[in-house]
Structure formats: C-alpha cells, structure tokens
A and B are shown apart, each in its own frame.
Chain A
Amino acid sequence: MPPGDDGPSRQGGRSRRTSAAVTDPSAIPPTAPPGDRLLVAVSEQPGALDLIRAARRMAEALDAPWSAVHIETPRSARYSDAENAALAEALHLAAQLGAQVASLPAESVLDGLERFAADAHATQVVIGKSRRSRWFELRHGSIVDRLVRRAPGLAVHVLPLAAPPRTAHSRQAAARKADLAARWGSRTGYLVAFGLTALVTLLGTEILRTGNISDLGLLYLLPVMVAATRYGLRTGIATGLVCSIAYNFFFIPPTHTLTIDDPRNILTVLVLLGVAVVSSQLAARVRAHALQAQASAAQNGALAGFARLLTGIRTVDELGRVLCAEIGRLLDGNAVLLMPGEEGQARALTRRWSWSPESQAAQPQLETLDLAAANWAFEHDAPAGRGSDTLTASEWLFHPVAAGGAALGVFGLSRSDAREPVRSDRLPLLLSLLDQAALALERIELEARMAELSQARERDRLRHALLSSVSHDLRTPLTTIIGTLAALRSTDAEQERQMAAARGEAERLHRFVANLLDMARIESGALQGKVEPVDLEEAVAEALHAMRALLGRHPVETAVSADAPMVLVDPNLFHQCLTNLIENAAKYGDPQGPITVAAQRRGGGLELTVSDHGPGIPAGAEERIFETFTRIEGSDRKGGTGLGLAIVRGFALAMGLQVSAANRTDGTPGACFTIRFDADHLKEWPL
C-alpha cells in the first residue's frame, strides 16, 4: 500500500460522497467546465484498490474532478464471485473517496473507455497494466497501446498492477474450467442441430428428385446458423462439420462416399464452417450484450424506482420500512435496518425495521452474534458479518448506512436458505441503494431541522408582533390615563384620594407592562448593551432619585466606599437593575428598617449590595426567587409583578455580571442582594 494512505479498504471518515450512477456516463454534465478531468478505469483485477488511491492522489494534485468507470464487457458476465466482490469493493472505495462512479456496458474495454472519456470530457486517463503473460498480450493485444493510438489528446497514465496472489489464481483457473464446460453447449442444442441437419438432408433429397438443382449446399446454412446463433460456437462448428459431411455424403458426386472430386465443393464445406464460426460469434456477442443490457436496465430500473420512492418519503420510520421492503424484495432476502435511538440513548441501535420475503409479520430474529456484527459495522463504518472480513460467523451481512462521513445506521441482509446473503454481482447494487438511502436519511434530517427553524422564526415573528402591539396599544392609553389623572384636581378630599389611588394603580399597570417588555427583550436575547464606565455613587443616587416616589419616607443609606472604581456596564440596564432591587427592598422590607445600598471591593472584584430589614428570603428560595413570576409566599399583597428580580438577573447576565440573593449576615433579619463585578468589569479612577 502506498505510504500516507490509511486503512485497508473503507475510509468512511474523510470521504466526500457522491451519488453513484451505475451505468450512465451522461450523469456527468457534458458541458463540464474547462480544466482537467481524471478518469480511472477500474477492473476486477487485484490491484484496483491501489489504482484508485493513486488516481485520487493525482486528482487532488491536479485539483480536478475524477470518475471511476468500470467497462462491462461480455467477459464481465463470467466473473467469479471473488472477482465480483473485488470489483464492488473497488467501486465503493472510489465512491467513498469522492469519485463519480459509473459502469458502462461496451463491446470492449477500449471502446467503452474511449466513449466514456469523450462523454465525460476527460483529459487524463489512469489505467492499470496487469502482469499478464506475453502470450495473452499477443492474443488480445494490449489495451494500453491501443488506447494511446486511438485517443489522441488524452493523457494516459499507466500503473503496473500488483501480481495476483496464487490462491486467487487457482480459484480463477477453476472458475475458468467450469466456464469452459458451459461453452461446450447443451445436449439439446446438439440434438436440435443434428435433427435439423437430417431434416435439411431429407428435404434436399426430395428436391433433388424433382429436378437437377445445383448448390443445394446453401440449404445447409440453415441448420448451421440456427445452431450457431442459438447454441453457441461449438455447437455451431459441430453442426457445420456434420452438415458438410452430410452434404458431401448425400449430394456431392460421387454420392454416398466421403470423397470430393470437384474442388468447388471443398469451398462449400469451408464456407459452411466459416458461417458457423462467424454467425456463432456474432450471435454470442449479441446475446451477451442483451443479457448485460437487461441486467443493467434492471439494476438501473431498481435504482431509479428506489430513488423515486425515497423522494416521497418524509419520515425516518417510513424510510426504514420502505428501505427494508425494497432491498429485501430486490435481493430476495431478509432485510433489517437498525438505527440508533433518539438522543440520550448513547448511540445504541434500538430502532429497528425489518422485512422478510416469507411473511410480513414474522420478525427476523437477530442473535447476539448478529447484533455484535451490526454494532461493529455501525461503530467502524465498515461491513461486518457473513461475506465480509469481520465476524463472519453471523448469518447476516451488515453494511453501514453512512452519509457525511458518519454512520446513520446499519442495514443487514440474510437468506432463509442459508446461502450467501448477497450475490457478489449484486453487491454494487446494494451499495448504491444504501448510498441513496443514506442521502434520503440526511435529507429527512435536514428537512426536520428546516421545519424546526421556520417554526422558530414564525414564533419569533408572532412574539415580535405581540410585543410591539403590547408596547404601543397598552402603553399609549396608559400614558393618557396617567396623565389625565395627574392633571385632575378636586376640592373633595375623598375624590382626591380616589384619584390618587386610581393613578397609583395605573402607574403600577404601566410598570408591569414595562417589566413584561423588558422580560421579553431578555428572552428574545435582543439585549445588545453598550458598555460605558459608570460611577457607582452617581448611578446609585440616580436610581434612588428615580424611585423617590415609591420610596416616600422609607429610610435609605448609601455606603459606596470612596475607593470604589468605576464599573463597565450598560448604563440603562444597570439603572434598571438598581431600581428593581431598590423597589424590591422597598416592597418586601420593613418600612421602618433602612434600605442599605453599599459597594466595596471584594477580592479582585467589587460587590454591590442592596439589603433591607424584613422577613428575608425563605431557606432554599435563594435561586427560585429570580425565576419569572416567583413571589415569596404570602407577599402577594405587596403588589409585585413577580418579574422585577427576573429582570435584574436577566439584565445582569446580559452585561456579564453575577447576581445572588441571601439573607443578611449581620444577625438581623432581612434580605441581601448582591451584584458581583469581576476585575474585567472595573475601571480604576485616574490618579
């Protein structure tokens, strides 16, 4: 493995995912921007993974998009399981590394590569050169040489592929042997072909009897072509031989012997054999193509149908059911999708959907071993279970469903007849389906987040509308009421008292509205304070001045120490904090007991305290007292709004200050509120 490359096969974490188009080169826009585009030809050969990594490094160096393409030739249909798996793995790796992946059916690798390169506007092609024998190359020619010759303007990079390991070789040889047996053709083929030959011979004898017609040999083309096109090369050649013998024996003078007098008739025999060879080759090719096209059309159809299905899905639950049913049906096995539960359950795979071809109701059973494989696959973002490299004792094969480099869940497949869960040539299909499912999952998640966002925005809009309505429609009439009541004078003492009471209540209502607005500002997080150096002595004096009407004759002491520095706060928010604390002390404190506002240095910071004489704060309520609409028990008659202290804390937090409540520590009963400024919020007086 080249240095600097990590992991054996699946680098989930760093990969950028692209959707995998299986056979369509036009998926790459034909009007690709000018610049390099790299193309790597992926084969089933063992060195393909290294080839893909090398291609990616080149693409990164060129800063160019890249595609990995596999050309499906007629030979692809005869891949062994191992070769199929290697191919699937290679294509999957390419997709994980950010390549656009495609499979293209073509007559030959060269044709396909050339066509794809033209369609995708590729400028660089990377191909691997396998260490095949010279004999193989003489027979088949080297793809590299031909590609260079046929595609001028295309930079072709050739990388030597690693030699195939022995075991794989012997397996390949065995596979080829089985293949060879298949190529000899079926017995039915021979029977039909020979029957036809006999029929044609009979027919020929009959025709000969009616008159002397030469070139009866043409008649024998029929069985040869039928045999060659329908039953393959060898049956065709055998039929050709039999036909020429029959023709020779029955029709070529001297008849009923196998000797040939006329050299023209030798030609006939040769033509028959030639026709057999050519037509069987043609037919075989056409048949292979048709099969391939059928297979890829089915695969494409499955993918397209699946993609269509997925676009309509709105919830994860629905996706789970559809995914299991579709893949289970397509691959004819038991399917299960495991996903982690909602937050808080520490990524345990608790949500499960399943599908089984035998019955809809029966849940496929997952043993401990299977669950272990599923968890492994989920945690490592790599396949596990039967047919993979890990935990192969499980009946199930688990593949992660990953998007954006993180596994969202695992998908498991098994078969009730205990065969391999996935046929190796179906593996690319499975991986593509899972990629699509992952994208759909991601989409659903995003949609949910979007919906949440727009809901939040709507809530904000409503709140804003409500606030401005409250601000305007409540405050304006209150201003009028307060102003009018203030202007009214009466000579009647009782009426004067009533008006004063009405005005007091109106003012209280106004304060409440103002508090509500302040609270709303805190909750919306819309407090952008400006920071100014503020003289504490001045600020306290101003707050007391503002509360003079409410304080009345309530005694107040101020004790801001002479060395108290300036504080860095928003002057208005701080003013509100002070007035609310003083108001609170005036309301809940004993009217005779003085309210003390003091400030002194404490440690590196400063503490400002507002303390009263009174019942103090019930034990355990020191935090609760700052909550919205909290009032100390039994104090409702005081006419508080339950918002004052919550506003103090909200404003203080917005300025970066700490507020706390406690009872007085000097032995007398009463509450003491402290605003703490740390060193960052202090500014010393200049000397």
Chain B
Amino acid sequence: MKPNVTILVVDDEPAIRRLLRAGLARAGYAVVEAANAREALNAMAIDKPEVVLLDLGLPDRDGLELIPAIKLQAAIIVISARDATDQKVAALDLGADDYVSKPFDSDEVLARIRTALRHRLPAPTQDGPVRRGDVEIDLLARTVRKGGEEVHLTPKEYGFLSELACHPGRVITHAQLLRAVWGPGHESDVEYLRVAARGVRRKLEDDPARPTMLRNEPGVGYRLVGLE
C-alpha cells in the first residue's frame, strides 16, 4: 500500500524507537531509526525519508536545531512531553508540521503522519471545496456554506478559517495564524484570534459549546479536524 514511504524515527530511547517501529511497520511504512542528531542527518542523506518523527531531547544536539536543516526534505512530526508547550510552539514556528505528546497513541501518530503526507503530495487539495458534514469551504470561490446556505463571515473570520482549511488536520500556531491573516507585527495579539474563532464557532458548529470541527490546542494554536 505504501511501500515507497520511508519514515525516520529519531529518539534516544531504544524502547520508544522499537514501539514506533512496530506500529509504523504494521501500517506498512518502511522505518529507519536514529538515536541522535548525527545519525539522523546521515539517515536524511542516505535513506531520504518522507516523514521524520523527531524527539527534541537528543543527547548530542537540541532537536530544535535539526528542524530548519531537514524541513525542506521531509515532513517533521515532533514528539514532546505534554507540558512542554513552549517547545512545541518553537518547533512548529521553526517549520515542524505537527506534534504528538507523550504518551502517544499509535492511531494518533498514524493520523498525524497521514495528514503530514497529504500536505507533502504534489497535488494540492485546494482545488475543490473542503467539506465536513454539512459545512463546505470553497477556497477558490471564497465562500462558506452550512446546510447549503451561504454563511456570512467577516473578512478576518474567513481569513482565519481558510488558513486552517489550507492545512486540514494540521495545527497552526497562534503566531502563524496572526501573521497570515493580520500581518506581521500582530504575532502576539491572541485576542484577535479568540474573537475570530468565536465567530467561526458560533456560525459553523452545531453546538458552539461542543465544537467538533475547530479544535483549540491550549497555548499552541488551532486546527480544523475531520475535513474531507
């Protein structure tokens, strides 16, 4: 099914590498392992993986330093501790595609890998409208429909939504969203995001108190989930 997709697992713990290798191999991926930054860079050159699962706590170098060096060659999914929010945000802003928190769930890891791979594919998904249930976002026509009815969004709400819809399933950090929609210089105005997110939630979610489409990652960013 995916014999040509290679995944590099970079972690200094053999047990974690073994666990990931088992899960990934079962899903049909080819797996390469690296225990430190030096081995990871070697594997990048030799095995040319499409996805890198990167633990940031490496013995020889800070994992964050690796991200700029490899982000053009492969999608990067950072594996980090639950409470290391600053580290996650730094990794995402440096160019990592996504993150999973320890202890991770194999299904979650596989879902993240699938999302990351989709974005790496040459054929863009932006052509047709993206859908979720009765919500349809047409990025070309710049319209949003819910239950067939066109929903009126403010320009910022639409900007916020389309930025997320361009990368469905992927977490976009506060700074990235603010830079894309409000422009550079507004990277720390989280308040704007809250206002836009609230508007989108109220207009598109069936129950704004139980959002199913727009997910908030506390202190990190937003992601749109379940889009087709």
- Interface positions of A (Cβ within 8 A of B): 471, 475-480, 482-484, 486-487, 507, 510, 514, 517-518, 530, 532-535, 537-542, 544-545, 558, 560, 566, 570-572, 574-575, 683, 685-686
Contact = CB atoms under 8 A, between A and B. Distances in A.
Given A483-B19, A487-B22, A517-B83, A537 B198 contact: yes
Nearest to B192: A686
User: Which 10 pairs from chain A and chain B are nearest by CB?
Assistant: A571-B219, A571-B218, A479-B103, A575-B218, A480-B15, A482-B103, A533-B191, A483-B19, A535-B194, A572-B219
Given A476-B13, A541-B209, A483 B103 contact: yes
Nearest to A521: B83
Contacts of B210: 541, 544, 558
Contacts of A533: 190-191, 194
Contacts of B217: 542
Contacts of B215: 542, 545
A148 B171 CA distance: 88
A685 B194 CA distance: 9
For A532, A540, A686, which residue has the most chain B Cβ atoms within 10 angstroms? Answer: A532
Contacts of B201: 537-538
A479 B102 contact: yes
Contacts of B211: 538, 541
A479 B85 contact: no
Contacts of B195: 685-686
A479 B104 contact: yes
A483 B191 contact: no
A384 B218 CA distance: 69
Contact of A558 (B82, B105, B191, B209): B209
Contacts of B209: 537, 540-541, 558, 560
Contacts of A538: 194, 197-198, 201, 211, 216
Interface in B170-195: 190-191, 194-195
A476 B83 CA distance: 14
B191 A475 contact: no
Contacts of B219: 530, 532, 570-572, 575
A1 B105 CA distance: 86
Interface string B1-31: 0000000000001011011101100100000
A535 B197 contact: yes
Nearest to B209: A558
A22 B75 CA distance: 80
B81 interface: yes
Given A484-B19, A538-B201, A572-B219, 17 more contacts: A476-B15, A478-B103, A479-B16, A479-B104, A483-B16, A483-B20, A483-B23, A486-B105, A486-B106, A486-B107, A487-B26, A533-B194, A534-B194, A534-B218, A535-B194, A538-B211, A566-B194
12 contacts: A475-B102, A478-B103, A479-B19, A480-B13, A480-B16, A486-B107, A532-B219, A538-B216, A542-B218, A558-B209, A558-B210, A572-B219
Contact of A537 (B85, B102, B208): B208
Contacts of B18: 480
Binding site of A, secondary structure by majority: helix, strand, loop or mixed? helix
A526 to B, nearest CB: 12
A460 to B, nearest CB: 20
Contact of A483 (B82, B106, B216): B106
Interface residues of B, number: 35
A245 B171 CA distance: 126
Nearest to A484: B19
B216 A566 contact: no
Contacts of B16: 476, 479-480, 483
A541 B194 CA distance: 14
A487 B106 contact: yes
B198 A477 contact: no
Nearest to A517: B83
Nearest to A574: B218
Nearest to A545: B215
B194 A475 contact: no
A574 B85 CA distance: 13
B17 to A, nearest CB: 10
Nearest to A514: B82
Nearest to B219: A571
Contacts of B107: 486
B190 A539 contact: no
Contacts of A683: 191
A598 to B, nearest CB: 11
A540 B211 CA distance: 11
Contacts of A514: 82-83
A554 to B, nearest CB: 14
Nearest to B20: A483
Contacts of B106: 483, 486-487
Interface string B66-105: 0000000000000001110100000000000000001111
Interface in B144-200: 190-191, 194-195, 197-198
Nearest to B23: A487
Nearest to A531: B190
Interface string B39-72: 0000000000000000000000000000000000
B112 to A, nearest CB: 14
A547 B21 CA distance: 28
A570 B16 CA distance: 31
A483 B104 contact: yes
Interface in B207-228: 208-211, 215-219
Nearest to A530: B219
B100 to A, nearest CB: 11
A190 B180 CA distance: 116
Nearest to B189: A533
A246 B217 CA distance: 124
A68 B16 CA distance: 77
Nearest to B214: A538
Nearest to A532: B190
Contacts of A560: 209
A312 to B, nearest CB: 49
Contacts of A486: 105-107
A163 to B, nearest CB: 77
A487 B22 CA distance: 9
A538 B23 CA distance: 33
Contacts of A517: 83
B81 A477 contact: no
Contacts of B198: 535, 537-538, 685
B19 A480 contact: yes
A484 B16 CA distance: 10
B213 to A, nearest CB: 12
A475 B216 contact: no
A532 B22 CA distance: 40
Contacts of A539: 216, 218
B19 A572 contact: no
Contacts of B85: 571-572
Contacts of B19: 479-480, 483-484, 487
A477 B15 contact: yes
A610 to B, nearest CB: 15
Contacts of B103: 475, 478-479, 482-483, 507, 510
A475 B107 CA distance: 20
B110 to A, nearest CB: 11
Interface string B103-136: 1111100000000000000000000000000000
A539 B13 CA distance: 34
A212 B22 CA distance: 137
Contacts of A571: 85, 218-219
A558 B209 CA distance: 7
Contacts of B20: 483
A540 B201 CA distance: 14
A668 to B, nearest CB: 23
A558 B106 CA distance: 31
Nearest to A475: B102
B56 to A, nearest CB: 13
